[in-house]
């Protein structure tokens, strides 16, 4: 890998947080195995039973608050500090491990666990505490209109205008720890490929998306991503 890239996009999924102790969604003991996705992560579920969905995320908040970034997240900070390129992170994860590791340019397309949105006035505010359907919005003071600022199935993603620009101009697209089954995020690699980017997938196993990746690196992200980033940094040093 001796090419020097100018615009790197890293797409992350639940797999990058696995070595921080957070469960993924579709592994055998996955998060959703304890809950049907239709009961907690769809806009219909929220409209049908808001407090059931609030409780699901209220229970998740303390674990995500306490979680610590792992070597994969920390390696991204080193890449952003030392490599001569713009590095953007598009994450499907609602945890804040990228931020805790000091990563910059993080785009949470599926939202964030510590954010609440008011469906009445659009105010988005941060909390790590519990929310229930009777709570009032700190801005418009209306009760019963608060929702976790998490993109449920059937809702549009956040930051998609920014994502479109990033994918069109990227020359290296790295996917880390995602099963590639949730759209439109699973289609980002195809856009990057058609825009001329080199594409690399880091996962424990082959995914349903493998056709669009030039290179597959198998293993835990806490090991494979630092190794890949060292390759990039070495190439940039040799070019100076
Ligand atoms: C939308 C919030 C427009 C909840 C989530 C075709 C085109 C467009 C849309 C669709 C389509 N077909 C169907 C749809 C609809 C739907 C969809 O994609 N359904 C799927 C199931 C088929 N998409 C949507 O609804 C999206 N919205 O399209 O808007 C629209 C509007 C109206 C009507 C229709 C369409 C919204 C999608 C967002 C849903 N919300 N999360 C929450 O997070 O609590 S999705 C959820 O899945 C999480 O965000 C998660 O991040 C994401 C993807 O999962 P992964 O991160 O990949 O996690 P997973 O467990 O699956 O995989 C982990 C991977 O890591 C594995 O591969 C494993 O091998 C690997 N791994 C494990 N350990 C490690 C590791 N790798 C490396 N190292 C390790 N240590």
Kindly state whether residues 144 and 170 are assigned to the same domain.
no
State the DSSP string of 174-191.
EEES--S-STTGGGHHHH
Q: Token pair 């190794």 is at which residue?
A: 227
- Same domain for 92 and 174? yes
C-alpha of residue 204 to centroid of ligand 1, in Å: 17
Q: Which of the listed residues 18, 19, 20, 24 should we mutate to test ligand 1's pocket, taking the one with most ligand atoms within 8 A of CB?
A: 24
66 Cα: distance to centroid of ligand 1 (angstroms): 23
Tell how far the Cα of 143 is from the centroid of ligand 1, in angstroms.
30
Cα–Cα distance between 164 and 12 in angstroms, integer? Answer: 16
Record the tokens describing residue 213, joined without a space: 């990746």
Domain with 236 in it: 1-22+69-110+157-240
Among candidate residues 190, 153, 195, 227, the one with its CA nearest the CA of residue 11: 190
Q: Give yes or no for residue 13 CB within 6 A of ligand 1.
A: yes
Catalytic residue among 98, 108, 110, 216: 110
Are 36 and 146 members of one domain? yes
- Same domain for 95 and 34: no
CATH number assigned to the domain comprising residue 118:
3.30.1600.10
Using one digit for the tens of pLDDT, what is the confidence trace for 134-164? 999 999 999 999 999 999 999 999 999 999 9
Beta strands in 93-158 (DSSP E): 106-108, 111-118, 124-126, 146-150
Dump pLDDT digits (tens) for 22-32: 988 876 655 56
Is the domain of 50 the same as that of 128?
yes
pLDDT per residue as tens digits for the range 73-122: 999 999 999 999 999 999 999 999 999 999 999 999 999 999 999 999 99
Examine the residue annotation and report whether 110 is marked as an active-site residue of this protein.
yes
Residue identifier of the C-alpha nearest atom 9 of ligand 1:
183
Distance CA 12, CA 178 (A): 6
Strand order in the sheet with 86-91: 106-108, 86-91, 7-12, 172-176, 198-203, 215-218
């Amino acid at each position: 890998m001796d090419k020097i890239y100018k615009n790197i996009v890293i797409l992350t999924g639940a797999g990058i947080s696995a070595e921080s102790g957070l469960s993924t969604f579709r592994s055998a003991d996955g998060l959703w195995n304890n809950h049907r996705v239709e009961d907690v992560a769809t806009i219909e579920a929220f409209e049908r039973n808001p407090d059931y969905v609030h409780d699901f995320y209220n229970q998740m908040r303390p674990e995500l608050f306490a979680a610590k970034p792992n070597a994969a997240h920390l390696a991204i900070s080193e890449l952003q500090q030392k490599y001569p390129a713009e590095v953007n992170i598009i994450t499907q994860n609602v945890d804040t491990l990228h931020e805790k590791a000091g990563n910059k340019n993080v785009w949470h397309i599926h939202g964030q666990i510590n954010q609440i949105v008011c469906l009445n006035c659009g105010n988005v505010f941060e909390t790590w505490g519990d929310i229930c359907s009777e709570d009032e919005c700190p801005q418009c003071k209306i009760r019963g209109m608060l929702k976790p600022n998490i993109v449920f199935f059937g809702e549009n993603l956040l930051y998609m205008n920014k994502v479109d620009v990033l994918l069109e101009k990227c020359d290296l697209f790295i996917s880390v720890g995602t099963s590639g089954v949730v759209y439109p995020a699973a289609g980002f690699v195809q856009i990057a490929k058609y825009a001329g980017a080199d594409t690399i997938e880091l996962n424990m196993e082959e995914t349903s998306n493998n056709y669009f990746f030039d290179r597959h690196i198998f293993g835990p992200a806490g090991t494979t991503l630092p190794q890949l980033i060292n390759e990039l940094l070495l190439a940039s040093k040799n070019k100076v």
